[in-house]
Amino acid sequence: MTAPILVFGWGNPARGDDALGPLLVEWIAALQIPEVECLTDFQLQVEHALDLEGRQCVLFVDASLDAEAPFTVRPITPAARADCNSHTLAPEAVLQVYIELQERPPPPCQLLAIHGESFELGTGLSAAAKNNLAIASEWVKNWLSGTGCQLSVRS
């Protein structure tokens, strides 16, 4: 059975603060919340539109150079985005692909953008990113409580 809530984080764990998305999602996964499915990937791609099917709500999580520290949260809606290569896809474009594939609007989606500063290959999280991750994790826990999730299992 499809979990009603999807938390989807993306980024390269080997590139410093780019790991913020996957790390936050791994932290949520460790909570073992039955209503929540946690997925990660290196990059957002068109097939991820299929992961939105059957959800009540979706939280996308990514590292961001531009987001204000420690993080920002905003609802996202389907939209076209221009790309120069096959290595990037905006979450808004994934939502648009969902509409056309399923012929109905996607579930409500939000984007949690955690501020990162250093993206060097082979480095760990920067000190600032660690702090931002901790604060963002608390926000996610509260957000999940608001969705009716049973958070008491291992939190």
Partner 1 sequence: MTDLETASHPENLRRVVIEPLSRVEGHGKVTLLLDTDNRVQQARLHIVEFRGFEKFIEGRPFWEVPVMVQRLCGICPVSHHLAASKAMDQIVGATLTPTAEKIRRLMHYGQILQSHALHFFHLASPDLLFGFDADAAQRNIVGLVARDPAIVRKGVLLRKYGQEIIRMTAGKRVHGTGSVPGGVNKSLAPEERASLLKDSYEIIGWSREAIGIVKSLFEQNLALYRDFAHFDAHSLCLVRADGALDFYDGGLRARRIDGTTLFDHFDTDRYWDAIVEDVKPWSYMKFPFLRALGDADTSWYRVGPLTRVGQCDFIPTPLAERERQEFLACADGAASRATLGFHWARMIEMLHAAEAIKELLHDDDIVGQDLVATGQRQERGVGVIEAPRGTLIHHYRVDENDQVIRANLIVSTTHNNQAMNAAIRSVARHYFDGREITEGLLNHIEVAIRCFDPCLSCATHALGRMPLEIEIVGAGGTALDRAARDSNGRFARP
Residue from 68, 84, 146, 152 touching partner 1 (CB under 8 A): that is 84
| 30-38, 56-64, 129-137, 140-148 -> range binding partner 1 (CB under 8 A) | 56-64
The verdict on 126 binding partner 1 (CB under 8 A) reads no
The strand pairing partners of 115, in sequence order, are 64
What residues between 90 and 119 interact with partner 1 by CB under 8 A? 90, 93, 96-97, 99-101, 103, 111, 113, 116, 119
Q: Specify the stretch interacting with partner 1 by CB under 8 A; choose among 23-31, 72-80, 125-133, 135-143.
A: 72-80
Which of 23, 40, 28, 57 is CA-nearest to residue 133?
23
With H, G, I as helix, E, B as strand and everything else as coil, classify residue 141. Answer: helix
The runs of H, that is alpha helices, within the chain are: 20-30, 91-102, 127-146
Interaxial angle between packed helices 20-30 and 127-146, expressed in degrees from 0 to 180 and rounded to the nearest 10: 50
Min. distance of Cβ 144 from partner 1 in angstroms? 22
Binding partner 1 by CB under 8 A: which of 2, 77, 81, 148?
Answer: 81
Binding partner 1 (rule: CB under 8 A), the pick from 5, 7, 11, 27 is 11
Strands 109-115 and 71-76, sheet pairing = antiparallel
Minimum distance of partner 1 from residue 39's CB (angstroms):
8
Report the nearest approach of partner 1 to the CB of residue 119 (Å).
4
According to the binding rule CB under 8 A, does residue 68 interact with partner 1? no
**Which residues lie below 8 Å from residue 146, measured CB to CB, with a gap of 6+?**
none
The encoded tokens of residue 122 equal: 């082979």
Does 41 engage in binding with partner 1 (CB under 8 A)? yes
Query: Which token pair is 101?
Result: 């594939």
Q: Which amino acid is at 105?
A: P
